[in-house]
Amino acid sequence: MKEVGVGIIGFGTVGAGVAEGLLKGADLITRRCGVTVALKGVADLDIETDRGVEVPKTLLSTDALALVARPDVAVVVELIGGTGIAYTVVKTALEAGKSVVTANKKLLAEKGEELFALARAKGVDLYFGASVGGGIPIIRSLRDGLVANDIRAIYGILNGTCNYILTRMAREGSGFDAVLADAQRLGYAEANPSLDIDGFDTAHKICILASLAHGVSVPLDQVPVTGIRGLDPVDVHYADELGYVIKLLAVCKAHGNRLEVRVNPTLVPKDHPLASVNDVFNAVLVDGSMTGDTLYYGKGAGRAATASAVISDIVSVARHVASGTPREAEPLPPLAQSGKALLAPEDCTSRFYIRLMVREACGMVGRFATILGDHGVSIFAASQHEATEAQREAGYVPVVILTQPAREGDILAALTEITAQGIVRSMPLHMCML
């Protein structure tokens, strides 16, 4: 039985879970894969704090680059995070001809092009299965299971913190700030929650899935991102009445050579499979040209689930090392060189939910319909809602309009015109509908 040595850099939550999983699962892994995966060491600046896992002290060290350089370490697992020492570790490992496993979305987003090119040049693997969806094998399914499919669309609920907040707002009718504060108290949201609630984490992940699906490197900074910060509970309530739940949805749709990639709060019909994905769970719906819709669901984060994905990568890479043949990563040319381009946000088409705050509702729906119609937007449904106390005090009542499929640019132009006419309190809110 061939043995492949593994070094883990970073002994945080996930690092400790991976170390424990490799040690506890050694026999299982060997039996299932025909390769012995041997943990040679774990490096971290702090090797004193108790991580609550059974990892022998003798495996711990503080010198990351020394562990990377060890001749008996063939696979380097980077679990530090960030783009500082993590970048040095990954680059050093690849340059030394070692395969790398990482869960570092930020590193992939900022340095991915360089690092994947280096891995290809050196003939080694750079695996990143834990970077999206935690324990859900979505990256593996896209790369292998759906290899014969043109990927027509991907819809993902990819951030557990946002989904937890949205689930509680829908269940309890609570306000955003109160639920966020509670989520922070319970450890479901960071003290600085921006990366999650402003949609950037979700954007990182859809870029990775879009890149895999379409064989190009999709640049994060060109993806329009709207998070859930400040979502008004009245919209959660109106969506519910209309038969929808609001989810932070990442979307990647192919329109010929144009890719629509975006992150938005979106109204999802209650009978859609993504509507019942609640709490911290993640799910990804993939529409393949041969399979049609397939859906993948599970815990998107947490020590053990993420460690499961990292170990799955380690095992695949170890198999390649044992047989002397790396997977040979698909080239991911920059989008600009690929003949493809991102669809401009204003050209994205969707049904839209629009909420307008008007001083007098009488006759307003007809007036809005006329202005929307002037911009080529048809109305599917419209309703005036009873004002909340705060709304009554402010002297405004809400009107909700659902549109037929329309260009977002046309919606914006119509809403700008409505706002300019002074008949609404402020620029109306609009959200995509699935």
Q: Which residues in this chain contact a copy of itself in the complex, by CB under 8 A? A: 17, 21-22, 25, 28-29, 31-34, 129, 134-137, 140-141, 143-150, 215, 271, 273, 276, 288-299, 302, 304-305, 307-309, 311-312, 315-316, 319, 323-325, 327-328, 330
Of 340, 299, 330, nearest to 128 by C-alpha is 330
Nearer to a copy of itself, 278 or 391 (CB): 278
Dihedral angle, C-alpha 204, 207, 208, 212, nearest 10 °: 180
Q: Report the nearest approach of a copy of itself to the CB of residue 186 (Å).
A: 18
Is the Cβ–Cβ distance between 434 and 352 less than 8 Å?
no
205 has catalytic annotation = yes
Which one of 98, 105, 205, 253 is the catalytic residue?
205
What per-residue string of b and e applies to 233-255 under the rule 16 or more CB within 10 Å gives b? bbbbebbeebebbbbbbbbbbbe
* Rounded-to-integer distance, Cα 86 and Cα 107, Å: 8
Q: Report the nearest approach of a copy of itself to the CB of residue 17 (Å).
A: 8
C-alpha distance from residue 350 to each of 3, 239, 247, 402, 433 (Å): 53, 16, 15, 11, 6
Of 10, 204, 21, 5, nearest to 89 by C-alpha is 10
Nearer to a copy of itself, 230 or 292 (CB): 292
Nearer to a copy of itself, 329 or 371 (CB): 329
Nearer to a copy of itself, 146 or 335 (CB): 146
Nearer to a copy of itself, 244 or 396 (CB): 244
CA atoms within 13 A on the CB side of 247: 30
First-to-last C-alpha distance (Å) of the chain: 51
Nearer to a copy of itself, 317 or 424 (CB): 317
Query: What burial class does residue 101 get, using C-beta atoms within 10 Å of its C-beta: 0-12 exposed, 13-18 middle, 19+ buried?
Result: buried
Q: Report the nearest approach of a copy of itself to the CB of residue 152 (Å).
A: 13
Q: Report the nearest approach of a copy of itself to the CB of residue 127 (Å).
A: 11
Q: Report the nearest approach of a copy of itself to the CB of residue 63 (Å).
A: 27
Q: Which helix (H) or strand (E) holds 389?
A: helix 389-394
Q: Report the nearest approach of a copy of itself to the CB of residue 307 (Å).
A: 6
* Rounded-to-integer distance, Cα 310 and Cα 130, Å: 6
CA atoms within 13 A on the CB side of 199: 26
Q: Which residues are catalytic?
A: 205
